[in-house]
Chains A and B, each alone.
Chain A
């Protein structure tokens, strides 16, 4: 069974604070991909990152960074020096490679950055 859990339903931070969004996944597949998508108030889904199960190297892109730890089945997302434009719902997703090609999304974390 494939499952993605985002335990944080809503988070509020003050602008310029750092914030980490948690994602824990379950899969029996040994090869899979993990993703983060951003859904701003306008409703579209914006791709942020893809990570394959063999690459545990952390990634940094500007103020965004991701920490993939296979040992704890987690793929956490940190925003450094948050800005109001970061306010959105963030979804973590899992896609197994060999047992179908659908994406399994978490329930999302709604982030509000207060100016």
Chain B
């Protein structure tokens, strides 16, 4: 069964460092997302990506964040200068089409900022 894969599963970094989280969405999917879940809290939308550009982003997704699909298979989330409050589980998700089809989530990348 096709699945969304994310790497790394856990990353520990120092405050101020850059972090790149990687995702390989399901191959025939067209919409890609990043969501964040701070420990014990709800899952929050960060950004959606379609046709090689951002289609929607939340207030959380400020200038420190960027996304890229560099090679047609990987979908990356970059945090330029991490802050303590960026510590969270980051979920990548993909979706076949735009009409609220099921989101297929990866297993998450846990980011710990010290």
Residues of A participating in the B interface, judged by any CB pair closer than 8 Å = 32-33, 35, 37, 42-47, 50, 52, 91, 93, 95-97, 100-108
Contact = CB atoms under 8 A, between A and B. Distances in A.
Interface of B: 31, 33, 35, 41-45, 48, 55-56, 58, 89, 91, 95, 98-108, 110
Contacts of A96: 100
Nearest to A93: B43
Name the prevailing secondary structure of the B interface residues. strand
A100 B44 CA distance: 15
Contacts of A106: 42
9 contacts: A33-B100, A43-B107, A43-B108, A44-B105, A44-B106, A44-B108, A45-B108, A101-B56, A103-B43
A107 B42 contact: yes
Contacts of A102: 33, 45, 48, 56, 58
A109 B44 CA distance: 16
Contacts of A50: 100-102
Nearest to B101: A50
A42 to B, nearest CB: 8
Contact of B43 (A45, A47, A101): A45
